[in-house]
């Protein structure tokens, strides 16, 4: 390190209820440097950065910024020291305008009144300098995810942050938007600001960072200059073992059409179309990947298939039978396995036990239910069998589901939904937030379903996942498929163009 660090964390430890999130971590970043913080989910990246941002107080360790030691009691202290952070889940106020979101809590231009004109001028200069286009007078609620991220970055820059932390900033962006973000980050580094980039995506880290610090299990596994390493080496450092080879894809011919969606339309309360004429046919032994930038109707599409929303027009057939819409139970009875995006909300009742969660779709059927009675013992017996079959790590089937890890929660959903040979499997963001091991497991189970003869719809924001699993890829844009192609012909660039609305 030629230049002295802009900020330096030494010996940081943080525990939550006995779980160690950070264990004696040393980390520093130099002026003008883009440093990636790489690691699996749960490796402690976000906790470490929340400590630097003053959101958590470390149990041990010191923070230095520009050589001075700081003890941040709240984000306000970190902001004053020049630290800015863009959280993965944005901290914006949707009904307020962009400008209001940016100037909240700032003091310049007078202590009492809001000086919108002066603020707007300063904001415009920042936007110009860093290529962050967004209309300052629009309510944030109307903005796309990419635009919201720009607001968050502007919020930090408006406070003169000399260190900008970004937590998984590309998770919600399309490839073209990622390019725009990287351009901005490079401009920031050229000005001498430090950028800390939290990610678990190797390609991006290799592209944007100067230096990579790899966290594993709350400790620094190692660090490398990007010029001296490879994606493969980083992957090994990240998971701590040889990465498995690509999953084998069984070569099977698709069969007859099982799921047929025709002209599906849905509008919101204001009459804005959310789904704008979706047609989709999925055959037995076929995985259709639904790609798209988040917010282009994928979620609503799944909700209609799950029976959670009633479309304004359209039909769905499973086999030869028309499928009654808006009735969740009907989806179940028609043989659809539902793996929802919102695991803790729609997928499970986290305050109920593992066993109760496993019988949610059969509690009223023999042998678990008979008449008005519910047989705990039979439910638990069934549950033990499923927990065993899916390798769910739990202290017992009477444990409350909330206590399981993310990967085990997802296994619980799979164990419930994939029982009984479903004809259709709809999986929405099935590996979001999971670590590599759990991800591989989920992928394998999805491929098993395909091999068994199910028609699979895989909705995912993760292009790598779609490219890896799908036989055919459909791209959603503004509520309908804008294009499709066989997976064999697809690559990130082609998909990226479709995702940004450029039809092939």
Partner 1 sequence: MDDFFTSAFLTGLIAATLRMATPIIFAMLGELISERAGVLNLGIEGTMVMGAMVGFLTTLTTGSLLLGVAAGAGAGMLLSLLMAVLTVYLGLNQHVSGLGITLFATGLAMFLYRLAVGSPIVPPTIDPFTRIEIPVLSSIPLIGPALFRQYGLTYLAFLLVPLVAFFLYRTRAGLVVRTVGENPLAADTVGVDVRLTRTLCLMAGGALMGIGGAFLTLAHQNMFLIDVVGGRGWVALAMVIFGNWHPVKAMIGALLFGLLDGLQLRLQGSDLAIPFDFFLMVPYLMTIIALVLVSRRAQVPAALLKPYRREDRG
Q: Which residues in this chain contact partner 1 in the complex, by CB under 8 A?
A: 16, 53, 55-56, 74-76, 79-80, 85, 87, 91-96, 100-101, 103-107, 110-114, 155, 159
289 three-class SS: strand
When the beta carbons of 159 and 376 are compared against partner 1, the nearer one is 159
What minimum distance in Å lies between the beta carbon of 147 and partner 1?
16
Q: Burial-class residue 157 by CB neighbours within 10 Å (0-12, 13-18, 19+).
A: buried
Q: Which of 53, 9, 3, 52 lies closest to 32, judged by CA?
A: 3
What minimum distance in Å lies between the beta carbon of 22 and partner 1?
13
What minimum distance in Å lies between the beta carbon of 483 and partner 1?
37
Half-sphere exposure in the Cβ direction for 393 (13 Å, CA): 7
Q: How do 34-38 and 194-199 pair as beta strands?
A: parallel
What minimum distance in Å lies between the beta carbon of 246 and partner 1?
32
Distance CA 158, CA 155 (A): 5
When the beta carbons of 23 and 233 are compared against partner 1, the nearer one is 23
Q: How far apart are the first and last CA of the chain?
A: 47
When the beta carbons of 120 and 452 are compared against partner 1, the nearer one is 120
What minimum distance in Å lies between the beta carbon of 94 and partner 1?
7
CB 257 within 8 A of CB 282: yes
Q: What phi and psi values does residue 54 have, to the nearest 5 degrees? A: 80, 5
When the beta carbons of 217 and 369 are compared against partner 1, the nearer one is 217
When the beta carbons of 57 and 393 are compared against partner 1, the nearer one is 57
When the beta carbons of 68 and 112 are compared against partner 1, the nearer one is 112
Question: Tokens representing 456?
Answer: 């699979």
Distance CA 22, CA 150 (A): 29
When the beta carbons of 104 and 125 are compared against partner 1, the nearer one is 104
What minimum distance in Å lies between the beta carbon of 52 and partner 1?
13
What minimum distance in Å lies between the beta carbon of 257 and partner 1?
41
Per the listing, tokens 């802009």 go with: 6
What minimum distance in Å lies between the beta carbon of 170 and partner 1?
20
When the beta carbons of 97 and 394 are compared against partner 1, the nearer one is 97
What minimum distance in Å lies between the beta carbon of 81 and partner 1?
11
In sequence order, the β-bridge partners of residue 288 are 457, 472
SS3 of 114-137: the string is: CCHHHHHHHHHHHHHHHCCCCCCC
What minimum distance in Å lies between the beta carbon of 65 and partner 1?
16
When the beta carbons of 402 and 492 are compared against partner 1, the nearer one is 402
Question: Which residues 6+ apart lie within 8 Å of 451 measured at CB?
Answer: 250, 252, 285
When the beta carbons of 223 and 435 are compared against partner 1, the nearer one is 435
CA torsion sign for 114, 118, 120, 123 is negative
Question: Which residues 6+ apart lie within 8 Å of 391 measured at CB?
Answer: 411, 441
What minimum distance in Å lies between the beta carbon of 346 and partner 1?
17
When the beta carbons of 112 and 242 are compared against partner 1, the nearer one is 112
CB 48 within 8 A of CB 215: yes
| Widest distance between CA atoms in the chain | 76
Alpha-carbon distances of 279 from 153, 264, 422, 456, rounded to whole Å? 38, 7, 22, 15
């Amino acid at each position: 390190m030629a230049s002295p660090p802009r900020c330096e964390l030494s010996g940081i430890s943080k525990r939550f209820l006995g779980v160690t999130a950070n264990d004696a971590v040393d980390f520093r970043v130099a002026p003008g440097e883009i440093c990636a913080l790489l690691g699996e989910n749960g490796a402690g990246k976000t906790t470490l950065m929340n400590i630097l941002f003053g959101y958590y107080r470390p149990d041990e360790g010191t923070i230095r910024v520009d050589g001075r030691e700081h003890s941040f009691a709240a984000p306000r202290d970190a902001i004053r020291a020049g630290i800015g952070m863009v959280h993965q889940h944005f901290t914006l106020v949707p009904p307020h305008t962009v400008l209001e979101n940016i100037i909240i809590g700032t003091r310049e231009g007078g202590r009492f009144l809001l000086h919108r004109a002066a603020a707007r001028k300063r904001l415009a200069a920042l936007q110009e300098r860093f290529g962050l286009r967004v209309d300052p007078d629009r309510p944030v609620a109307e903005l796309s995810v990419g635009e919201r991220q720009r607001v968050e970055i502007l919020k930090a820059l408006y406070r003169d942050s000399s260190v900008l932390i970004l937590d998984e900033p590309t998770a919600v962006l399309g490839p073209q938007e990622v390019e725009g973000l990287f351009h901005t980050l490079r401009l920031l580094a050229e000005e001498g600001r430090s950028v800390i980039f939290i990610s678990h995506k190797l390609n991006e880290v290799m592209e944007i960072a100067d230096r990579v610090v790899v966290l594993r299990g709350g400790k620094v596994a190692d660090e490398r200059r990007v010029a001296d390493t490879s994606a493969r080496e980083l992957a090994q450092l990240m998971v701590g073992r040889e990465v498995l080879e690509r999953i084998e894809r069984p070569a099977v011919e698709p069969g007859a059409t099982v799921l047929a969606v025709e002209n599906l339309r849905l509008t919101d309360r204001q009459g804005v179309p959310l789904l704008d004429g979706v047609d989709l046919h999925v055959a037995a032994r076929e995985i259709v990947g639904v790609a798209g930038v988040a917010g282009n109707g994928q979620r609503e599409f799944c909700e209609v298939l799950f029976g959670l929303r009633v479309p304004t027009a359209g039909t769905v057939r499973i086999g030869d039978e028309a499928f009654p819409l808006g009735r969740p139970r009907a989806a179940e009875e028609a043989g659809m396995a539902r793996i929802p995006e919102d695991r803790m909300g729609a997928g499970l009742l986290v305050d109920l036990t593992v066993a109760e969660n496993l019988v949610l779709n059969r509690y009223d059927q023999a042998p678990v239910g008979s008449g008005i009675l519910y047989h705990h013992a039979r439910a638990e017996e069934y549950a033990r069998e499923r927990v065993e079959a899916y390798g769910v790590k739990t202290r017992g089937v009477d444990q409350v589901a909330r206590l399981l890890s993310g990967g085990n929660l997802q296994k619980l959903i799979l164990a419930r939904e994939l029982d009984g040979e479903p004809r259709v499997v709809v999986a929405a963001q099935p590996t979001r937030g999971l670590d590599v091991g759990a991800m591989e497991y989920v992928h394998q189970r999805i491929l098993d379903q395909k091999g068994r003869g199910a028609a699979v719809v895989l909705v995912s924001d993760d292009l790598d996942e779609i490219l890896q699993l799908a036989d055919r890829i459909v791209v959603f844009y503004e509520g309908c498929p804008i294009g499709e192609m066989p997976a064999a012909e697809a690559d990130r660039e082609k998909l990226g163009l479709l995702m940004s609305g450029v039809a092939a």
